[in-house]
Amino acid sequence: KPTRILEIGCGTGLLTELLARNWPEAQIVATDFAPQMLERASRRAIPRTEFKLMDAANPTVEGPFDVVCGNLVMQWLEQPEQVMERLGGLLAPGGVLAVSTLLDGTFAEWKAACASEGVQPATPHYPQAGQIQAWTPWLFAGLWESESCVQAFGSGLEFVRHLKATGASVPQAGRKPMGAAALRRVARRLDHSGAAITWQLAYGCFRKPLVAGVFVTGTDTG
């Protein structure tokens, strides 16, 4: 059972609450880059949890931790492979790094609705499934697995409100958010197709070796 957990990109505290529920004796350090997200998460009054402002790309906390985790945060980072190495360095021997990310193809229905209305979507560019295989800390055991999930919404506007409520409505860098009139048109177009949205998800789980080193067998001539 983990006694010390670091969460990156805690957002509104959904995962934080689950961590506390599953491991009630663990001390949790929940971090996020956005002060407003931390403020919202802290309202949940999660026991044994410290909320801290931190950029996941440049950790400012002291390890070691038994678990380092982050839900749907890796797609926001510019150098995820390097970030995985840094986060892995905060783990105790045998510790677990568990993260998830969005993949290319996410929100395909929303993008199609934008195209039908002649609107350029400001949705961020997400990585291809093949790209993330390199996001593995050196010598760690583990893998990335992906899945497709379809979520039904009552309306297109309900989908937009869901993104805002979870802090996931940030547009891609250098792009302005869609105007209100265009947003309503695209939302109505999404209604016509059933207001269902596809999420392309990837989960990475990696364990730090108990002893740093490499075992080589069958050396032949070396």
Q: Supply the pLDDT for residue 167.
A: 59
Mean pLDDT of the chain: 91
Residue 124: per-residue pLDDT: 82
* Region 65-72 average pLDDT: 97
**Least-confidence region, from 5-9, 82-86, 216-220:** 216-220
Which of 203, 192, 209 has the alpha carbon at shortest distance from 96? 209
- The yes-or-no verdict on residue 9 having pLDDT over 90 is yes
pLDDT at 135: 94
Q: pLDDT tens digit string along 71-111?
A: 999 988 989 999 999 999 999 999 999 999 999 999 999 99
pLDDT at 211 over 90: no
Interval 145-182: pLDDT, tens:
999 999 999 999 999 888 877 655 565 566 676 778 88
CA distance 107 to 130: 19
Percent share of the chain, pLDDT over 70: 95
pLDDT value of residue 160: 87
Q: Is the pLDDT at 68 greater than 90, yes or no?
A: yes
Q: What is the pLDDT of residue 29?
A: 98
| pLDDT band with cut points at 50, 70 and 90 for residue 215 | confident
The 10s digit of each residue's pLDDT in 185-204 is 999 999 998 999 999 999 99
Of 161 and 206, more confident: 206
CA 71 – CA 16 distance, rounded (Å)? 10
The 3-class SS string of the chain reads CCCEEEECCCCCCHHHHHHHHHCCCCEEEEEECCHHHHHHHHCCCCCCEEEEECCCCCCCCCCCEEEEEECCCHHHCCCHHHHHHHHHCCEEEEEEEEEEEECCCCCHHHHHHHHHCCCCCCCCCCCCCCHHHHCCCCCCEEEEEEEEEEEECCCHHHHHHHHHHCCCCCCCCCCCCCCHHHHHHHHHHHHHCCCEEEEEEEEEEEECCCCCCCCCCCCCCC
| Cα–Cα distance, 43 to 12 (Å, whole number) | 9
Q: What is the pTM of this model?
A: 0.85
pLDDT in the model for residue 49: 97
Give the integer Cα–Cα distance in Å for 9 and 208.
21
